[in-house]
Amino acid sequence: MSIERIDSELCNGCGICVKSCPMDVIRMDRESKKAVIQYPEDCMLCGFCVQDCPQNAIYISPAKSSPFIVSWG
Amino acid sequence: MPVENVVETDVLVIGGGMAGCFAAIKAKERGVDVTLVDKGYVGKSGQTPWAGSYVLFNPEWGDNLDAWINQVTTVGEYVNNREWTEIVFQDSYARYQDLVSWGVEFAKNDEGGLFRSTTSLGPCRAVHMEPRGFAEILRKQAVKKGVRVLDRIMVTNLLKQEGKIVGAIGIPMESYDLYIFKAKATIICAGAAGFKPAGWPISELTADGDAMSYRAGAEITGKEFVDTHGTSADYPAMHAHGMPPMGAKGPPRHKVINAEGNEVPGRGTLFLEMEFEAHAGRAPLYFETPGGKSIRVGGASSGMSVHKAEGIWPADTSGATSVSGLYAAGDSLGTMQMGAVYGSIGCALGGSSVTGARAGVAAAEYALQAGKPTVDEKELARLRKIVYAPIERKGGFSPRWVTQVLQNTMIPYFIMYIKHGDRMQAALTIVEFLRDHLVPRLTAGDPHELRLAHETKNMVLNAEMRLRASIFRTESRGCHYREDYPRRDDPNWLAWVTLKEEQGSMKVLKKPIPKKWWPDLSKPYEERYPFRFPGE
Across chain B, which has 536 residues, the per-10-residue mean pLDDT values are 94 98 98 98 93 96 98 97 98 98 95 92 94 91 98 98 97 98 98 92 96 98 93 82 65 82 90 94 88 78 89 98 98 98 94 98 98 94 97 97 97 96 98 98 98 98 98 98 98 98 97 97 96 94
Can you tell me the distance from the alpha carbon of B213 to that of B157, in angstroms, rounded to the nearest whole number? Answer: 8
Dihedrals phi, psi of B264, to nearest 5 degrees: -85, 120
Contact A42 B39 (CB under 8 A): no
| pLDDT mean across residues, chain A | 95
Say what the pLDDT of residue B359 is.
Answer: 98
- In chain B, which residues touch A (CB < 8 A)? 39-41, 44-45, 49, 132, 151-152, 173-174, 196, 198, 201, 203-204, 232, 235, 237-239, 241, 397-398, 400-401, 404-405, 408, 448, 451-452
Q: Which residue of B has its CA nearest to A22?
A: B40
The residue type found at B259 is: A
**Cα-only R_g, chain B:** 22
Element (H, E) at A37: strand A35-37
Query: Within a 10 A sphere around the Cβ of B320, how many other Cβ atoms?
Result: 23
Question: Which residue(s) pair with B299 in the sheet?
Answer: B230
Whether B224 and B510 have beta carbons less than 8 Å apart is answered as: no
With beta carbons under 8 A apart, name residues in chain A contacting B295.
none
The residue type found at B54 is: Y
With beta carbons under 8 A apart, name residues in chain A contacting B201.
22, 44-46
Whether B159 and B375 have beta carbons less than 8 Å apart is answered as: yes
Residue in B239, B397, B400 nearest the CB of A45: B239
Enter the CATH code of domain A3-60: 3.30.70.20
Closest CA to B376 of B145, B181, B159, B89: B159
With beta carbons under 8 A apart, name residues in chain A contacting B45.
22
Can you tell me the distance from the alpha carbon of B495 to that of B79, in angstroms, rounded to the nearest whole number? Answer: 7
3-state secondary structure of B324: strand
Angle B170-B467-B229 from CA coordinates, rounded to 5°:
80
Dihedrals phi, psi of B339, to nearest 5 degrees: 80, -145
Provide the residue ranges of all domains of chain A, joining segments of one domain with +. Answer: 3-60
Can you tell me the distance from the alpha carbon of B188 to that of B115, in angstroms, rounded to the nearest whole number? Answer: 33
The residue type found at B325 is: G
Query: Which 8-state DSSP code applies to residue B156?
Result: E
Angstrom CA distances, B269 to B120, B345, B396, stand at 9, 8, 44
3-state secondary structure of B46: coil
Residue A72, burial from CB neighbour count under 10 angstroms (0-12, 13-18, 19+): exposed
pLDDT tens-digit series, residues A25-46? 999 999 999 999 999 999 999 9
Can you tell me the distance from the alpha carbon of A16 to that of B101, in angstroms, rounded to the nearest whole number? Answer: 27
Say what the pLDDT of residue B254 is.
Answer: 77
Whether B158 and B170 have beta carbons less than 8 Å apart is answered as: no
Q: Name B30's Cβ contacts closer than 8 Å, sequence gap at least 6.
A: B360, B361, B364, B365, B368
Angstrom CA distances, B124 to B74, B228, B317, stand at 13, 21, 22
pTM: 0.97
Say what the pLDDT of residue B198 is.
Answer: 87
Contact B44 A19 (CB under 8 A): yes
Report the topology of domain B377-528: Methane Monooxygenase Hydroxylase; Chain G, domain 1 (1.20.58)
Say what the pLDDT of residue B238 is.
Answer: 83
Dihedrals phi, psi of A69, to nearest 5 degrees: -85, 130
Q: How many CB pairs under 8 A join A and B?
A: 71
Contact B201 A42 (CB under 8 A): no
CATH-assigned architecture of domain B4-225+306-369 = 3-Layer(bba) Sandwich (3.50)
Closest CA to A18 of A44, A52, A41: A52
Residue in A38, A51, A62 nearest the CB of B241: A62
With beta carbons under 8 A apart, name residues in chain A contacting B130.
none
Which of A44, A53, A59 is the mutation pick for testing B, counting most B CBs within 10 A?
Answer: A44
Give one DSSP letter per residue of B103-146, joined into a string. Answer: T----B-TTSSB--EEETTEEEEEEE--TTHHHHHHHHHHHHHT
Helix axes B421-433 and B447-472, enclosed angle (nearest 10): 150
Can you tell me the distance from the alpha carbon of B515 to that of B71, in angstroms, rounded to the nearest whole number? Answer: 19
